[in-house]
């Protein structure tokens, strides 16, 4: 967040609100750049805005006749103002984007997508660099390449790199333990450095070639490979010449498959917007090294009555608050403050970022293609929304709800014989699943018998609804569910009933979802919280299929979280329990002895010989395993 000159406490006047409040506070606002926040009666942000001159900008909200109906409502709800002054308007723009992302004010255009983007990583900490993927907000040049629009786009490029340059993808631990090459070497997807099949310098040359490819220097790389192929052929090293030939063919094939690449584009994002019916879609295409790294649609909220340029400008500020900006961004239309946005993005990136609206040529074609994708994605999104509204109305009918639910919470447990037990909650709303609202609950109650699913569910529900009662007793923050689905039957629903009665929560619709005989999907039975007889839905009922998707998502999330926790527990070393052994000393011991088991049987003198292990610490380690000093 940019440095600020200072912030003031909330400015308010008892008994005065709306436009009258703003008029009364105007003399206290500075004629300086900064950010203002409009707050409601609870102190929640209604709107966050930036200004070159705060007093002049906020004055516009007192002219109610000129404001759209939506903004008049916002002004009427305003009970206080908060002001933060900054050095420059560009700093104010960066601060505004950060605050909108954090506070999610209901009258700002909001980028609701919180997914991170994958990158290709070529690790440089090892003599034989590893090829892999990671999710990094600020990629380091020469180490991370991207972003890519999706995991599948990364996987496709990784497969190309493996086939062309044969870099290793195994972890460092696996690499150290290999005594002979794995299957990837046999199918020519790895050069086999684990078995000394390749020298460090030869492997480094492969890494350089892969880096050149990812940086868009494919043609120069092809010329270099062609020269090496000819030299190898002249030296009668036909096997090496054939290897270079295969790499050249792979590169040529890749270039032929990429139909919408633009080599002269280099590093750029192409961003287009299409708005219709009060909704909008922003489509982003990622180009790196002149190649298309895929595209992703976004559907920002609160875009009604906004122009395409206003939507695009708000999107840019929030999007590049979590994604490293490229050196150029191609836009489908002009935005209100292009120079200011360029300055802000350049400050964030640490290098010059240019915004351009192409008027002709291939770059205009790219923007038009992105706009077409945005329009088609919005049409699909709106159609899905209409179908979802119908489903939610059906859910309300099936479960006798007063209205279509806007928030559904689904709960499931996961464990293996009671170990690494967790509870999981997934959330679905009018726009589909809401991953940012998912929660996991590590089972903490020591009195719970391992494997007791009923006790686990009691703990999860007690913690979840106990927190709701504490943080939102008036149920005004939109965090209370309209419908709760529990993966289980009569036993699970009985356990939940007891907890909710103890908490005094008796007006939330709760149902157990149990599979039929032989756990046959499609024969689910639904168990009401009030103990009424369970019921089923017809096999072809769309509501049944929707509930199955909800339950399956909860199951997937619970299993995935449990596996991650189990893997972490498995990877825990016995060395972690020794006082004084941190990550650095643990690494030194493992590198010296090769395994934790070897450390456990090592003699005192051997332990003292390890770099970073003092005589006193060696005695502690020896005593830990042998019970003596």
pLDDT digits (tens, 9 = 90+) for 23-69: 999 999 999 999 999 999 989 999 999 999 999 999 999 998 889 88
pLDDT of residue 332: 96
Asked whether the beta carbons of 404 and 396 are under 8 A apart, the reply is: yes
β-strand pairing of 483-487 with 407-416:
parallel
Give the span between the Cα atoms of 271 and 282, in whole angstroms. Answer: 7
Domain residue ranges in the chain: 4-103, 119-257, 266-380, 407-558, 574-626
The CATH number, out of the four listed (3.30.530.20, 3.30.1360.200, 3.40.1440.10, 3.40.50.2300), of the domain defined by the range 4-103: 3.40.1440.10
Strand ranges inside 52-155, DSSP E = 80-86, 119-122, 131-134, 144-145
Strand ranges, E, within 417-461: 419-429, 432-433, 439-442
Q: What is the pTM for the complete model shown? A: 0.70
CATH 1.10.260.40 is held by the domain 266-380: no
| CA dist., res. 592 & res. 575, Å (int) | 14
Q: Which among 561, 550, 570 has a CA at the least distance from the CA of 413?
A: 561
Residue 80 confidence (pLDDT): 95
CB atoms under 10 Å from CB of 54, counted, come to: 25
CA–CA separation, 409 vs 438, rounded Å? 9
Structure-block tokens of residue 158: 């990784």
**Cβ count near 259 (within 10 Å):** 6
Dump pLDDT digits (tens) for 389-442: 899 999 999 999 999 999 999 999 887 655 668 889 999 998 889 988 999 998
Residues of the chain with pLDDT under 70: 1-9, 114, 136-142, 250-264, 416-420, 516-522, 565-574, 628-629
Pick the CATH number of 407-558 from 3.30.70.60, 2.20.28.270, 3.30.420.340, 3.40.50.10860: 3.30.420.340
- Predicted confidence at residue 159, as pLDDT, reads 85
- The CA distance from 258 to 614, in Å, is 58
Where in 9-102 does DSSP place strands (E)? 34-39, 45-51, 80-86
CA angle 489, 492, 496 (to 5 degrees): 130
Q: What is the pLDDT of residue 568?
A: 61
Q: What is the CATH number of domain 574-626?
A: 1.10.150.20
Decide if 282 contacts 273 (C-beta within 8 A): yes
Q: Fill in the DSSP letter of residue 509.
A: E
With beta carbons less than 8 A apart as the criterion, state whether 493 and 511 touch: yes
Q: Do domains 266-380 and 407-558 have the same CATH topology?
A: yes
Q: How far is CA 148 from CA 295, 461, 556, in A?
A: 8, 38, 25
Q: Is the bond into 147 cis (omega within 30 degrees of 0)?
A: yes
């Amino acid at each position: 967040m940019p440095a600020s000159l200072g912030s003031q406490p909330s400015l308010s006047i008892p008994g005065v609100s709306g436009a009258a409040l703003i008029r009364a506070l105007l003399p206290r606002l500075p004629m300086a750049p900064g950010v203002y926040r409009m707050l409601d009666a609870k102190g929640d942000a209604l709107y966050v805005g930036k200004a070159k001159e705060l007093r002049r900008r906020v004055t516009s909200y007192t002219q109610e006749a000129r404001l759209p109906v939506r903004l008049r409502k916002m002004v009427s709800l305003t009970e206080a103002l908060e002001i933060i002054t900054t050095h420059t308007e560009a700093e104010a723009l960066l601060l505004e984007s950060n605050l909108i992302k954090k506070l999610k004010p209901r009258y700002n255009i909001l980028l609701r997508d919180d997914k991170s983007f994958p990158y290709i990583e070529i690790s440089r900490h090892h003599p034989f660099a590893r090829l892999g993927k990671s999710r990094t907000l600020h990629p380091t040049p020469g180490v991370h390449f991207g972003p890519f629009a999706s995991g599948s786009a990364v996987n496709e490029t990784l497969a190309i790199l493996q086939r062309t340059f044969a870099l290793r993808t195994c972890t460092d631990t696996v690499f150290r333990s290999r005594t002979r090459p794995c299957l990837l070497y046999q199918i020519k997807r790895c050069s086999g450095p684990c078995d000394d099949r390749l020298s460090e310098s030869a492997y480094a040359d492969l890494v350089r070639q892969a880096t050149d490819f990812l940086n868009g220097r494919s043609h120069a790389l092809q010329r270099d490979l062609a020269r090496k192929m000819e030299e190898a052929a002249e030296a009668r090293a036909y096997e090496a010449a054939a290897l270079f030939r295969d790499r050249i063919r792979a590169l040529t094939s890749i270039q032929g498959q990429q139909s919408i690449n633009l080599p002269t584009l280099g590093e750029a994002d192409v961003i287009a917007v299409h708005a219709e019916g009060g909704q909008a879609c922003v489509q982003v295409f990622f180009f790196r090294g002149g190649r298309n790294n895929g595209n992703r649609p976004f559907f920002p909220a609160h875009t009604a009555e906004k122009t395409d340029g206003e939507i695009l400008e708000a999107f840019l500020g929030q999007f590049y608050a979590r994604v490293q900006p490229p050196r150029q961004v191609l836009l489908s239309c002009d935005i209100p403050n292009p120079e200011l946005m360029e300055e802000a993005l350049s400050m964030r990136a640490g290098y010059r970022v240019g915004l351009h609206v192409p008027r002709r040529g291939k770059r205009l074609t790219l923007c038009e293609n992105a706009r077409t994708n945005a329009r088609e994605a919005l049409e699909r999104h709106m159609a899905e929304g209409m179908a979802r509204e119908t489903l939610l109305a059906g859910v309300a009918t099936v479960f006798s709800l007063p209205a279509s639910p806007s928030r559904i919470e689904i709960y499931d447990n996961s464990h293996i014989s009671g170990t690494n037990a967790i509870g999981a909650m997934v959330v679905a709303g009018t726009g589909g699943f809401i991953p940012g609202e998912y929660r996991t609950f590590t089972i903490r109650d020591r009195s719970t018998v391992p494997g007791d699913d009923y006790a686990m569910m009691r703990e999860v529900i007690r913690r979840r609804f106990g927190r709701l009662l504490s943080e939102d007793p008036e149920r005004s923050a939109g965090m209370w569910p309209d419908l709760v689905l529990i993966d289980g039957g009569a036993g699970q629903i009985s356990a939940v009933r007891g907890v909710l009665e103890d908490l005094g929560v008796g007006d939330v619709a709760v149902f157990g979802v149990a599979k039929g005989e032989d756990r046959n999907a499609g024969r689910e039975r639904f168990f009401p919280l009030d103990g009424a007889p369970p019921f089923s839905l017809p096999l072809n009922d769309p509501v049944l299929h929707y509930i199955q998707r909800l339950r399956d998502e909860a199951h997937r999330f619970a299993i995935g979280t449990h596996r991650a926790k189990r893997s972490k527990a498995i990877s825990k070393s016995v060395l972690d329990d020794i006082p004084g052994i941190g990550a650095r000393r643990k690494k030194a011991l493992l590198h010296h002895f090769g395994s934790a088991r070897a450390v456990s049987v090592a003699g005192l003198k051997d332990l003292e010989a390890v770099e970073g292990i003092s005589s006193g610490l060696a005695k502690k380690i020896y005593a830990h395993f042998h019970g003596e000093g």
